[in-house]
Each structure stands twice: as C-alpha cells, then as structure tokens.
Amino acid sequence: MKKPIRKYALSVMTAAVVLLLGACGNADNSNVTPSASSAASESAAVSPSAAASAAASAAASSERTLTDDYGHQVSIESTPERILAPYMEDALVTLGVTPVAKYSAGGTVQEHLEPWLADLPVIDLMSGLSPEAALGFEPDLIMISSHFLPVENYETIAKVAPTYLFNGEAGDWGEQLRKVGELLGKEELAEQKLTEYDAKIAEAKEQLSQSVEGKKVAILWPSEKEFYVVGSEFLSGKLLYGELGLAAPELASATPDNFGTLSLEKLPELDADELFVITPEGQTEEQVDKLLADMPLWKTMPAVKNGRVHHVSSGHWINSAYMANLAVLQDVTEALQG
C-alpha cells in the first residue's frame, strides 16, 4: 500500500539436518559375537558421500514452492530467517517475526510498529525497492507489494532472493496475513490471530452499541484548501463502517472512490456527530488545530460545536492490517465511550 494518499497501502535457508545413525551395542554387549559386532560397526560407519546424499535429500524434502499473486513460482527452503518485507512488517509482527529492516518513506516509519521495530535499520521505498538496497540486507526471502515493486521489475529483485509479490490492489489484509503465515510456516498462528481479531471486533461492537446509537461518524484528512473524506470501503473506513457498523454521513457514504475530496464550502453539509481528524505525517495536532481554527465554516459543524473532534494518527488510520486495525479500534473505543 503506498503512502501517497491515493495509492494503497505483509528462500535460501540453513536446514538443520540431524542424521540419527544407529549404533549397535550398549553398556552390556557381552553376548554379541565378533561377527555381529563387526557388522554393527560397519553399519554405523556411514561414508561421507552417503551422508551428503542424505542431507541433500532432506533439504529437497523441506523445500516448498508457492505461487505468488502474479503467477511467479517461489521456492522456499525450510523456514526463512532473514526476511525483507517493507511495508508488510505488520503481518510479521503479528506472527512474532522480526524482519531484517523496516519500511521508511523519506524518513517516515510506521509509528504503530515502533514498539517492536524501533532498533531496526530502515529501507526507504520513496522510489521503490532497488536490487542494491535489497541485497544489502542479505535476505533469505523478500515479500513486497506491487505498489513498491512493479511486475515488470520482478526479476531484478528475484535475483537477490526468492521474492513473493503481493497484489497491492487486493485490499484484503486477512488473506494477506494467511499467505504470510503460509510462507513462514505459521499457518495455525495466522488463523488464531484472525479468530482473536474477530472476537475483539465483536466485543468492541457490543461496547459501542449504546454510546453511538443514532450518531453519525466521519473520518477527515485536512489540508489547507480541502478535506479528504474516508468512505466505507477505504482502509480505516472499512473497520468503522463495515466491521463496527457505525453510521456514516451521507457525504462519506457517497464518496465515489471512498477517499474523496470535500471542499471547504461543503463542510457544513457533513452532518457528523463524531469526527475523527487524521493528523498528516510530519504535522502535529497543534498544527492541525491551528489550520482548522482559521476556517470559519469549521466552527459551524455540530461535532466541533459539541467538542466531539478526535485527533488520530495517519500511520495506522491510513492503513489496513492486524496491528494497525487494533490501534484504530483502541482509538475508536476510547473516543466514543468517553
């Protein structure tokens, strides 16, 4: 998923092969005849070539071949350890995996993941993923969205390490988490996390049922000349309107691309009782408040008059993944139950 507003935005391994060689004889072998003892010694002494053959066979049996979203055959040996997955780190953190680097765009990282990734080096994708940048991290496996790696550039990155290319337009973070779980041999954990997520949504929906009854909720991204309105099919809008069942104002429901523009003159028509205002990257809440305070029409809105404006971070609100959604869920329940 790309950070720019309208473009959105989850192996070669050392196989530990243990050959258990049968050793005949134990502490009491007095009844073993010399010929039988000799045969046991010969069977225990496996030649180097036989050991190498067994190791190769074991390695081959542990290799898996998966097909990515664009039909590429991706061969992965054993369980990858050095994983490069820029802007898909949310899925890795969800599954308890630490990547070799973390996504950055011009120095901006995913703040909601910093508790887990703070010490990692960054890989900047402002201009996409280059083979030189990928090679520097010596990955065993690369996972990346087509937003950052166009299909036509796939082979240049696949030469660095086995590369699984996700369809950046798919938009289903749950299925993406399942695929990442399959790639990493953590299918059961991925399913467990999805089950836990559904339970958290159901619990939050029950908690909010009374406090939001009859109320309309809007999500806005402000700028100096216009606002962006998040609709029901766009990232955090899916969570609020689709999963939690919150009511959207008509203007938000009618947004054609689910992240549409709203001119300043149209602000009074956004009849929301609760407003979530996204703080753009690189700005503070204070800067956003000052911007809004200078707009006369802003002060006429019901939610503003009643003090029901909630500032939230673009890092997880313009996102869609397990950890990001849980952060949004926490923001929503704290704001609307307060």
User: Would residue 261 count as lying in a domain?
Assistant: yes
pLDDT of residue 255: 67
User: Would residue 326 count as lying in a domain?
Assistant: yes
User: Would residue 12 count as lying in a domain?
Assistant: no
**Amino acid identity, position 171:** G
User: Would residue 217 count as lying in a domain?
Assistant: yes
Burial 156-176 (b: 16+ CB within 10 A, else e): ebbebbbbbbbebeebebbeb
Domain count for the chain, please give it: 2
User: Would residue 28 count as lying in a domain?
Assistant: no
SS (H, E, C) 285-301: HHHHHHHHHCCHHHHHC
The tokens describing 21, both together, are 């060689």
| Whole-angstrom distance, CA of residue 28 vs CA of residue 33 | 13
Is residue 204 domain-shared with residue 232, that is, in the same domain? Answer: yes
Range of the structural domain that residue 76 is part of? 63-185
Strand partners, 275: 218, 309
Is residue 147 domain-shared with residue 217, that is, in the same domain? Answer: no
User: Would residue 11 count as lying in a domain?
Assistant: no
Domain boundary among 134, 161, 185: 185
Domain boundary among 146, 163, 185: 185
Is residue 132 domain-shared with residue 223, that is, in the same domain? Answer: no
The helix (run of H) or strand (run of E) holding residue 59 is: helix 48-62
Interhelix angle 173-183/187-208, nearest 10 degrees: 150
Are 318 and 328 in contact by the 8 Å Cβ rule? The answer is no
Regarding beta strands 259-263 and 102-104, do their DSSP bridges make them parallel or antiparallel, or are they unpaired? unpaired
pLDDT of residue 28: 39
User: Would residue 160 count as lying in a domain?
Assistant: yes
Instruction: Count Cβ atoms below 10 Å from residue 152 Cβ, excluding itself.
Output: 7
Q: To the nearest 10°, report the CA torsion of 75, 120, 316, 318.
A: -60
Are 164 and 145 in contact by the 8 Å Cβ rule? The answer is no
Are 275 and 331 in contact by the 8 Å Cβ rule? The answer is no
Is residue 122 domain-shared with residue 162, that is, in the same domain? Answer: yes
pLDDT digits (tens, 9 = 90+) for 98-124: 999 999 999 999 999 999 999 999 999
Domain boundary among 130, 150, 185: 185
CATH number, domain of 280, equals 3.40.50.1980
- Digit-by-digit pLDDT tens for the chain (338 residues) are 433 333 333 333 333 333 233 333 333 333 333 343 433 333 334 444 444 444 444 444 578 999 999 999 999 988 899 999 999 999 999 999 999 999 999 999 999 999 999 999 999 999 999 999 999 999 999 999 999 999 999 999 999 999 999 998 888 999 999 999 999 999 999 999 999 999 999 999 999 998 999 999 999 999 888 888 998 888 999 999 999 999 999 888 776 567 788 888 888 888 999 999 999 888 899 999 999 998 989 999 999 999 999 999 999 999 999 999 999 999 999 999 86
Strand partners, 17: none
* SS3 (DSSP) at 76: strand
Q: How many residues does the chain have?
A: 338
